[in-house]
Amino acid sequence: MLLPWCFGKRQWTLGDRPRLMGIVNVTPDSFSDGGNFLDPQRAVDHALQLVEEGADILDLGGESTRPGAEPVSLDDELRRVLPVVELLAEQTDVPLSIDTTKAEVARRCLQAGAEIINDISGLTFDDDMPDVCAEYEAGIVCMHIKGTPQTMQQNPTYEDCVQEIRDWLQARLEFLESRGLKAEQTIIDPGIGFGKTAEHNLTLLSSVQLFRALGRPVLVGHSRKRFLKKVIGRDVDERLAGTVGVAIALAAQQTDIIRVHDVAAVRDSITAYRTVMQQIPMP
């Protein structure tokens, strides 16, 4: 099933192949690469390298949302991310996504050339966020989170995590439409690692089609995350193979967008997987 995603002047049709969202953390404390790209030029250089590797979208974040991370001020977040947006908007046509929960950060970055807002709260932390996204016709990634980054991993429980998260996302889609956003602007994200145990994450990762059945494209961000330690027993700097393996499983389920640090490795693995699958005769 092909699904539309419209943002700014762009109209994408998703579902034919996974698009890759490359991660650019302009933070001192992200769980995997915190501090590596605090300098704006280093962040820009890294982002452009991800584009060369095949990133379809660049996702820029100025506030860590790892478990236990403390909030940052509006001024600090803008100081980190806005110069990078301004520089990249002049140097690449690849859509820029802003990983933020603050409406004013979204507004300033959209004015500077960003086109997508990736909000881990599903646009619940800042009441003004839906209006900003509607005003600029931004693409929206509406993600599920249970709690906040400070509380989300304190014994998260569900009776049926897939059904409960599906219901929550469906309610958010309906709410956003009531606030003037077109359905085609929004994609959904079940929120791997955001208020979930390793078992919850694995269940969600095997249920992409149940989320796509809501009629919107699905984004998944699993790259290098903690649940992989339980799966493969590796620390964060040794999780590339695990990240690639999960990406192939996501591609097999028609996941629309996969958010990753290691764009080249994931791109090559999915290309190889899809090439082999195309050679297999249909029964």
Kindly name the residue from 102, 166, 225, 239 that is annotated as catalytic: 225
Q: Give catalytic status of residue 259 as yes or no.
A: yes
Neighbours of 235 (CB within 10 A): 10
Residue 67 burial by CB count (10 A; 0-12/13-18/19+): exposed, middle or buried?
Answer: middle
Evaluate whether 140 touches 181 at the Cβ level (below 8 Å). yes
Q: What is the DSSP letter of 98?
A: E
List of E strands, 44-175: 57-61, 96-99, 116-119, 139-143
Kindly name the residue from 19, 166, 259, 267 that is annotated as catalytic: 259
Tell me, rounded to whole angstroms, the distance of Cα 39 from its chain centroid.
22
- Output Rg (C-alpha) for the chain, integer angstroms: 18
Put residue 52 in one of left, alpha, beta given phi > 0 → left and psi -120 to 50 → alpha: alpha
Which residues are designated catalytic? 225, 259
